[in-house]
Chains A and B, each alone.
Chain A
Amino acid sequence: MYWGGNPAECHPRHFTKYALMPKSKFLPRGRKDRTAVLVDIRPTKSAKAADIFLQVRPGKDFELITILRALIKDQKVSEEAVAETGITLEQCTDLIERMKKAKFGCVFFGMGLSMTRGKHMNSAALLTLAAEMNAFTKFVAMPMRGHGNVTGADVIMRWQTGYPFGITFNRGYPRYNPGEFSTVDVLVRGDADAAFIIGADPGATMPQPAIDHLARIPTIVLDPHVTHTSNLAKVHITTAPAGIAAPGTAYRMDEIPLPLKPALKSPYPTDEEVVRRIKQAIVKKPFWMPEGAQMTAAQV
């Protein structure tokens, strides 16, 4: 099942290499041995690849998933209430029957789900549905992440700080609170007095108040290219493009680490090298935290 994602256009190899076409020991006929369902607000190109397309009304994903959670537990939901999602009760019942009959169910959800009204709760809903489906058969769910190596950043922040994102170090140790410490919220509220940006172009994607704030404060950008953000930055350091001219590891969206083997040489330093040199310069300055400071009071 794909939910709120359009792999045919956004992750083209997902069908062929990963989830739909591959032949395997237990699915020797590949695509023919699988049932594919797409749930989205409009019939995208991916709908053609699906056996079943369910067109959910915009903003009704959370409701629809919550209905499915109730129905798998044999709870009653009125036909009219279901119909408001754009999907009929009959369609829901049919879907659930297929889900329960599947030998191994897999839900991939995209930003059509996780970035629309309800956001993290939409993702939570689908993850919960998948967890609860294990009372009947094997079921898993996994997000289809956006561009680049966002999973890698998330994975490393977790092992170094315990948290995936939305972290502050102002008290000398990691604290977490999405909404309070996530980049976009910090910028929109104007909570930061400097910005250091690596491998991202918030100037192209973030809301205007966040971009305005980036332009107000000293913003430093490490990027191989000229970007929206580098144009408004006070400092732009050109770096070697990761994966093309800089080695490293990229984490696939299922958290499988892949080695990056550079094909080209770049005259520019890697991001890592630049950060290392900045760090060396900072070490020469007096340490910012007073000796013996009692920093841990806030629990968030």
Chain B
Amino acid sequence: MNKLTLRLKEQPTVPLEAEVLSPDTFAELSNEEIRSKTVYHGKRQCRLDDFFDVDGERSDDVEIHGDLHRVRWIGREMSRGRITVHGSVGMHLGAYMKGGEIEVHGNASDWIGAEMRNGLIRVHGNGGGQIGAGYRGSLKGMRGGTIIVDGSAGLEVGMRMRRGMIVLGGPAKDFTGLQMKGGTIVLLAGAEIRTGAWMMRGTIISLKPIQMMPTFSYACRYTPDVLRVYSRRLKELGVSLPYAPQDGAYKLYSGDASVPGKGEILVWDALSA
């Protein structure tokens, strides 16, 4: 299928809510129909082409260029196709996503893949807070799919997540895996404090030592078989997870006893060379 290319021509002065930036919207529309789609510049309703040059039509392969840090809700609820962004994006990237792929060559903001169900989101720069989280009041965060952020992340990553996987290349701030109910978070560069707080179930894997909540207790040092499976899957995404016994093993901590929960935190413990 041909590619649909959008270029930001006018920097919004206040946040631009543009949930129409989704393969689901564009797949069946002509160029003119795409141009006339509504975006919300603050309280003003504008046409998409007030802000973007649009090249191509009827495509679910979408490429967007420009500094989109004020543009929110890109790929919201998308279920198919691909969005590639060359530049940084604003909040709620791929929120409620059901399928397809998003790749951002730049930074993203808070609520990446919030409450998503399926699909893949990859951010090559830094992410914000509440990645894969449940919105305020929701009982569940992401329910499936994969989010990979090469850079750092903010607070409450994976808050109340139920299933799926989040991989962070850079360090995360506080409350990673807060009230987690399932799924997996992989921290290649560790996290600040309160990781796994109030966890019920699910797994957090950290390759760097992290500060443990007092309500987690050390269980044993081993490498569960499932690591091998994760490692193979992550390899396809260009992330390597150690599991070979000659390199080291994982220290398993379980908690959070305050719930009381059956969550697991695995911290890589390398054999010194």
Contacts and interface: CB of A to CB of B under 8 A. Distances in A.
Nearest to A73: B260
A157 B19 CA distance: 27
Interface residues of B, number: 38
A78 B45 contact: no
A84 B214 CA distance: 8
- Main secondary structure, interface of B, reads loop
A82 B214 contact: yes
A28 interface: no
A299 interface: yes
- Main secondary structure, interface of A, reads loop
Given A62-B194, A77-B215, A290-B45, A121 B258 contact: no
B92 A300 contact: yes
Q: Which of A118, A172, A192, A193 gathers the greatest number of chain B CB atoms within 10 Å?
A: A118
A179 interface: yes
B217 interface: yes
Interface stretch (A42-50, A63-71, A276-284): A63-71
Contacts of A70: 215, 256-258, 260
Interface in A56-110: 62-63, 66-67, 69-70, 73, 75-78, 81-82, 84-85
Interface stretch (B10-18, B48-56, B78-86, B241-249): B10-18
22 contacts: A66-B256, A70-B257, A73-B258, A77-B214, A82-B214, A117-B174, A118-B194, A121-B175, A121-B178, A169-B43, A171-B40, A177-B136, A179-B130, A191-B14, A191-B15, A288-B43, A289-B43, A289-B45, A293-B45, A295-B40, A298-B17, A298-B73
10 tightest Cβ-Cβ pairs between the two chains A and B: A81-B214, A69-B258, A75-B257, A70-B257, A70-B258, A170-B43, A66-B258, A70-B215, A75-B260, A66-B215
Interface of B: 13-15, 17, 19, 38, 40, 42-45, 70, 73, 76, 91-92, 95-96, 110-111, 129-130, 135-136, 174-175, 178, 194, 197-198, 213-215, 217, 256-258, 260
